[in-house]
Structures are given as C-alpha cells and as structure tokens.
C-alpha cells in the first residue's frame, strides 16, 4: 500500500514538474483579470433592503370606501332616475304629439327637451354598469354612452336658452313677436335642428377621445392630459356659463316687465318656464362647479392629500347624480303646474286604459270649477 502510494506521489510530482511552465504562464496572464474583477466587485454599492430608504416614494391613495360607496349609490339612483325619466318623458312626448300641441315656439322647444331627457334616461343603465363593474361592452358602446350624455346635456341647455329668449320676445316685446307669430313654429323647428347640430359638434372631442382603459370606460386616457383640461374647461364655458348668462338676462327683463304690468293673472304661464329653468340650474350648477374645481386641481398637477382627493370624488359622484336627476323632473313640473297640460295628460291616460272614467272626473273636477281666466292662463304655452 505504501509502495503504491509512493509510486502515485512520484507520478504526480513528475507531472507537476512537466507542466510547471504552463502553470506559471497561466498565473501571470490571468492574475490581473482576477484582481480587476475583485476590485470591481468591491466598487458596487450595497443595495441591501436593510439600507434602502423608501421614505421618498409616495404611497398610492386608498379609494376602497369610494368604490364601496359607488357600488350601492350609483345603481340605486341611476335606476330610479332611468325609470321615472323614461316613463315621464315618454308621456310628455305622446301628449304633445297626440293632441297636436305644437302651436308655439315654446311647445316645439319643450318637446325637444323631453326627447333629449328621454334619450339620456335610456343611457343611464349603461352608466350604472360602468360605475359598478368592469366595462365589458366594448369601445363602441362606451363612445355612444358618453356621446349621448354630452349631446343631450348640451342640447337641453341650449333649448332652455332658446325658451328664455322666446319668452322674452313674447312678453317684453309682445308687439314685434305678434307680427312674426305665423313664422314662429317654422323658426322654432329650424332652430331646434341647429341646437342638436351644435350640441353634436361640441361633443366631438368626447366621441374622439373616449376609450376603454383598465376595463373602465373613460373620456380620456389620462385626467392630467392638458388637452383634456382645455376641452373640459371650454365645454363648461360654452355649454353652461354662456346659456346661464343668456337666461339670467332674459328672465330679469321678463320680471321687470311683469312688475310693470297691471294684470298678473294673464302672465301666470311664465312660472312654468321659470320652474323648468330653475330645476335645471339647481341640478346642473353644483355639478358644473365641482367639475370646474376638479379641472383646476388637475391643471395644477393634482393633489397629494388623499383625504382631499377622496372628498372630491364623493362630491363628483353626488353632484353628478343630482345633475342626472333633472331628466325626470320636467314631466312632474308640467303635470303639477300646467293645468291644460295636466288635463291632456289625464285624457291620454284614460284613452290608453291606465285610468278609469271615475278617476278622470275626480282629477279634472277641480279644473272645471276654476275661473275661466285662471283655467286658460295656467298653461305651459302662453302666447301673446
């Protein structure tokens, strides 16, 4: 065993002596590289998680409560608004058409207003689906939903603006308005077409930039996009501020004219139009104010206060529902204030089989006992 070991040792020694020059050359050539590699390894900074500072990284804002709020708030209110808006505005449209009430400019404008509210109420189920779950209906339905909302909202504002101008000429400029009475209905139809075309033009940016991102239907890919901020600001000014200014001027002149008149009973019909405008402004003004404030926040780079951002989202959701509420309020305004319109509506319900003869006489007997002057004046369509 020792001999074998000795021969084995001697065999290794002879091999080492044979390859000794090769080992020396190998060590001379590759030694600087190994040293350089060791030096490079020592120059690397320490990225250990125990030494990295995460304090400068902002934490994402938690919006769990906002999502939970939307899960019950949006579908509940959207369902109520959609049902009442569809049924109420459909009855208004049928009443105007069935009894051929398109005799004045205001009649034509109110019919177009009801038609706009009906279309908007028809799109609300899609808004409810968008607010509670991932958008699964594709980009085409997404674009249609936002376009219908914008077109109907803007056309409603423009129509109410035209109603205020018509009432101004009918009351404050009664003589000149009476001369053009034969052409008034034709002019109202042409102006209504122009209103719908103008509303469609204003809605073109929403039609173009609306898309689906992260299973959500949104009008822009980023809320901080400068183009989004500029377009949203211009839409607020053109579609809300300017019509509101026109309506304020017209109705202030109308109020001054009524104060100088001797017979106030003759002008009672104007309160219907005033209530319609007030209802629309009360519903739309809070949402436009919050939307304008939100646009300013986005234009200034957003906010780092998570609580402030959540409160702003709550305000947007609530005021948006209030703004959507106006599409189902106009039919109730017509039914409770306009006596003639209420009578025609009851007649329509009786013909459709929704009301018995006894119920019809019960709700119309008070109208028969009212004085003739009040009976004719408290209508939605007052004309000089």
Give me the residue spans of the domains in the chain: 64-377
Q: Which residues pair with 189 in a beta bridge?
A: none
Compute the distance between CA of residue 47 and CA of residue 351 in angstroms, rounded to an integer: 82
DSSP assigned state of 57 = S
Share of the chain above pLDDT 90, in %: 11
In Å, how far are 87, 104, 321 from 379, measured between CA atoms? 22, 12, 30
Q: How many helices (H) and strands (E) does the chain have?
A: 16, 2
Higher pLDDT, 372 or 135: 135
Query: Two tokens at 5?
Result: 């070991």
257-313: pLDDT as tens digits: 877 766 655 556 567 667 777 887 888 889 889 988 888 887 787 777 888 888 888
pLDDT average, residue stretch 213-218? 75
One-character DSSP codes across 357-379: HHHHHHHHHHHHHS-HHHHHHSS
Can you give the pLDDT at residue 96? Answer: 86
Q: Between 123 and 272, where is the model more confident?
A: 123
- Which parts of 156-251 are beta strand (E)? 211-213, 216-218
Residue whose entry in the numeric block shows the structure tokens 């006596």: 339
Whole-number Å distance between alpha carbons of 318 and 73: 9
Complete DSSP assignment for 263-310: -SGGGTTHHHHHHHHHHHHHHHHHHHHHHHHHHHHHHTT--S-HHHHH
**Binning pLDDT at 50, 70 and 90, where does residue 333 land?**
confident
Distance CA 343, CA 361 (A): 10
Task: Report angle CA 112, 114, 116 to the nearest 5 degrees.
Answer: 70
325: CB partners within 8 A, 6+ apart? 77, 81, 283
d(CA 50, CA 198): 62
The alpha carbon of 93 is separated from its chain's Cα centroid by a whole number of angstroms, namely 24
pTM, two decimals, is: 0.75
User: Which tokens hold the place of 15?
Assistant: 């091999």
When the pLDDT of each residue in the chain is averaged and rounded to a whole number, the result is 75
Domain 64-377: assigned CATH number = 1.20.1070.10
Choose from 25-39, 74-88, 323-337 the range with maximum mean pLDDT.
Answer: 74-88
How far from 293 is each of 2, 244, 309, 325, 383, CA to CA, in Å? Answer: 97, 18, 12, 21, 41
Show the tokens assigned to 207. 């039609």
Alpha-carbon gap, residue 213 to 216, rounded angstroms: 5
**For the residues 141-148, what does the mean pLDDT come to?**
86
Q: What is the pLDDT of residue 215?
A: 72
- Of residues 18 and 64, more confidence is placed in 64
**Has residue 332 got a pLDDT over 50?**
yes
In this predicted model, which residue has the larger pLDDT, 41 or 152?
152
Question: Which of the residue ranges 162-171, 292-301, 374-383 would you say has the lowest mean pLDDT?
Answer: 374-383
Q: What is the pLDDT of residue 14?
A: 54
Sign of CA pseudo-dihedral 99, 104, 110, 113: positive
């Amino acid at each position: 065993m020792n001999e074998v070991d000795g021969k084995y040792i001697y065999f290794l020694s002879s091999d080492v002596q044979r390859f000794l020059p090769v080992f020396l050359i190998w060590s001379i050539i590759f030694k600087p590289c190994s040293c350089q590699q060791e030096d490079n390894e020592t120059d690397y900074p320490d990225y250990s998680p125990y030494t990295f500072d995460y304090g400068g990284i902002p934490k994402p804002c938690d919006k769990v409560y906002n999502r939970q709020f939307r899960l019950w708030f949006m579908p509940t209110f959207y369902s109520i608004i959609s049902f009442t808006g569809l049924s109420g505005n459909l009855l208004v449209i049928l009443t105007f058409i069935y009894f051929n009430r398109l005799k004045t400019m205001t009649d034509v404008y109110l019919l177009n207003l009801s038609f706009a509210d009906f279309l908007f109420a028809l799109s609300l189920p899609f808004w409810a689906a968008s607010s509670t779950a991932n958008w699964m209906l594709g980009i085409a339905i997404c674009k249609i939903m936002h376009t219908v909302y914008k077109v109907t909202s803007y056309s409603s504002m423009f129509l109410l603006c035209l109603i205020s101008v018509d009432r101004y000429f009918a009351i404050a400029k009664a003589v000149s308005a009476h001369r053009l009475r034969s052409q008034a209905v034709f002019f109202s139809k042409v102006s209504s077409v122009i209103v719908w075309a103008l509303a469609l033009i204003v809605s073109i940016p929403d039609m173009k930039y609306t898309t689906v991102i992260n299973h959500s239907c949104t009008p822009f890919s980023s809320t901080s996009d400068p183009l989004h901020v500029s377009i949203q600001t211009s839409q607020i000014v053109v579609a809300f501020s300017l019509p509101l200014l026109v309506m304020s001027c017209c109705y202030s002149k109308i109020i001054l004219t009524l104060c100088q008149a001797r017979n106030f009973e003759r002008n009672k019909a104007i309160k219907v139009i005033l209530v319609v405008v007030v209802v629309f402004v009360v519903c739309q003004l809070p949402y436009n104010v919050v939307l304008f404030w939100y646009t300013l926040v986005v234009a200034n780079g957003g906010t780092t206060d998570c609580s402030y951002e959540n409160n702003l989202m709550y305000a947007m959701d609530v005021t948006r529902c209030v703004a959507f509420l106006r599409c189902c309020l106009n039919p109730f305004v017509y039914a409770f204030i306009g006596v003639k319109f209420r009578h025609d509506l009851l007649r329509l319900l009786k013909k459709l089989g929704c009301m018995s003869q006894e119920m019809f006489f019960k709700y119309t007997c008070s109208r028969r006992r009212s004085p003739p002057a009040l009976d004719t004046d408290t209508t939605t369509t007052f004309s000089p």
